[in-house]
Chains A and B, each alone.
Chain A
Amino acid sequence: MRRIAVTGIGIIAPTGVGRERVWEALAQGQSGISHIDDFDTSNLKTSIAGVCRDFHPEDFFDERELSRLDRVSQLSIAATAMAIREAGLTNGQLDSYDAGVYLGTGFGGQGSIEEFCGAFFANGRGRRSAIAIPKSMYNASSSNIAIRFKTRGPNITVTTACSSGANAIGQAFHLIRYGHAERMIAGGVDAPITPVVMDAWKEMRVLSTKNDPPERACKPFSANRDGFVLSEGAGIVVLEDLDTARERGAHIHAEVIGYGSTADASHITFPDPDGEAHAMSRALKDASVDAKEIDYINAHGTATKLNDASETEAIKRVFGSRAYEVPVNSIKSMLGHSMGAAGAIEFIATVLAIENQTIPPTINYEEQDPQCDLDYVTSGARTASRSTPISTAMSNSFGFGGNNAVLVARAFVQ
């Protein structure tokens, strides 16, 4: 069976643009959450979000391109360009029916949808446009990536809410493993920080309202957590057959070795630890790895009451007594919840934790919750030692709808 290498990483997050900057911020426990200043939040209970303030679209696109691309396409193309550059791939190597794109998104071109709906509902007085559909459709991002980089193979948009990015990477991994593609651009993207989406989340009572200071709002696994912080971003990886990657002398960040995907089939929003646990077990089985070999778990860890308790329970069901020995962190404490991008960004963080032998902290942890009693890496980043190396790690993503996706990565040893 083929082995699959991660040879390129492109990331845009609320803490910065690019792998090096984002990793540095994660390892230092820096938050990317800030007050929203792009629209009026006075009618909302939450006035904070994880906005990618260091992302300047005009660095990547000209004016005409910008008019055609929703922010979600801008983020995904820019992150893809970084991943491809890092992978050292030329256009000729991507211009192939054996190279494809699997991209996860939960909200697609939401900003554009709102703009065009606003025009429509303004009694027909709004500005009409022939690009409303191509700009806002859910598969615009993955299609725009293919158009720009000429990847002619399978091009599929995966939408499973908060696990979209992880499912996209998992599906792309299997596609190469079983010989249906040679090289895949895979990941997740979302740009959901809009007045309509913020208002809708408000009605579900799942957003943190700890607005001041913003960087301390998101408290995964802490007893005083009060919800997630909405954010945006993109995480893209280049995946390819390990032998091909070695032959062309590519740098290999890590290997993807396992993927598990399940549906709770119980409730549209209420999580079920059973479905989550089975996703983890299936990922381990897919990786031919025993639970005791996992050195680190990058949790879904949204900081909602329900998720963190359910995820903790699911980890215990899979790992037994070892659950108390495995470090579990939530980088959402720093980056917020970027919906369809989160699973991809967190997979990238897992790969970088392995590569850098460092586990970023879960920040803002303050009070112990009897339902959340694992080692959440709450006092600063943790560096691996000879006796506790980080060679195999798991990344969990659980989406509304009960869509669970778990990825397993392993250090690449020459």
Chain B
Amino acid sequence: MTREAAESIEDAVKSIIIAELRVDYSQLGPATHLMKDLGADSLDALNIALRLEERFRIKIPDDAIPRFLTVSDIVNGVNEHLSAQ
């Protein structure tokens, strides 16, 4: 994957998180924890997964969602699902 493609996935993930959790871009770093740092709950996690599925046309398995804890977890997860397809 090119560096541009990786960045665009990260940007897309961040924009979904920003829209769902109503947070600022500046609050998002790779290690930012959705629940501990941004106050998200399990319903937010499910909605973020739904938006990721729509955006990247992937199917995220139910058991993968609880592992989406930080921004980089999600970016890595999306990459794995994209490369698996």
Interface residue ranges, A against B (CB under 8 Å): 62-64, 67, 128-131, 134
List A contacts of B46 (CB < 8 A).
Answer: 130
Q: Give the top 6 A-B pairs by smallest Cβ distance, nearest first.
A: A130-B46, A64-B22, A63-B22, A130-B47, A130-B43, A128-B50
B22 touches A129 (CB 8 A): no
B43 touches A67 (CB 8 A): no
- Per-residue contact bits, chain B 16-48, to A (CB 8 Å; 1 contact, 0 not): 000001100000000000000000000100110
Contact partner of B50 (CB less than 8 A), chosen from A62, A63, A67, A129, is: A129
Q: Which of B34-70 contact A (CB under 8 A)?
A: 43, 46-47, 50
A70 smallest CB distance to B (angstroms): 14
* A-B CB pair tally, cutoff 8 Å: 15
B74 smallest CB distance to A (angstroms): 16
Question: Interface range on chain B: under 10, 10 to 19, 20 to 34, or 35 or more?
Answer: under 10
Complex Cα–Cα for A246 and B51 (A):
54
A135 smallest CB distance to B (angstroms): 10
List B contacts of A62 (CB < 8 A).
Answer: 22
Closest to A66 in B: B22
B20 smallest CB distance to A (angstroms): 8
A144 smallest CB distance to B (angstroms): 14
Complex Cα–Cα for A134 and B42 (A):
12
List B contacts of A129 (CB < 8 A).
Answer: 47, 50
Complex Cα–Cα for A337 and B51 (A):
39
Q: Given A128-B50, A129-B50, are A134 and B43 neighbors across the interface (CB < 8 Å)?
A: yes
**Other CB < 8 Å A-B pairs besides A130-B47, A131-B47, 13 of them?**
A62-B22, A63-B22, A64-B21, A64-B22, A67-B22, A128-B50, A129-B47, A129-B50, A130-B43, A130-B46, A130-B50, A131-B43, A134-B43
Which of A130, A131, A134 gathers most chain B CB within 10 Å? A130
A134 smallest CB distance to B (angstroms): 7
Closest to A65 in B: B22
Complex Cα–Cα for A62 and B47 (A):
19
List A contacts of B43 (CB < 8 A).
Answer: 130-131, 134
Closest to A63 in B: B22
Complex Cα–Cα for A130 and B48 (A):
9
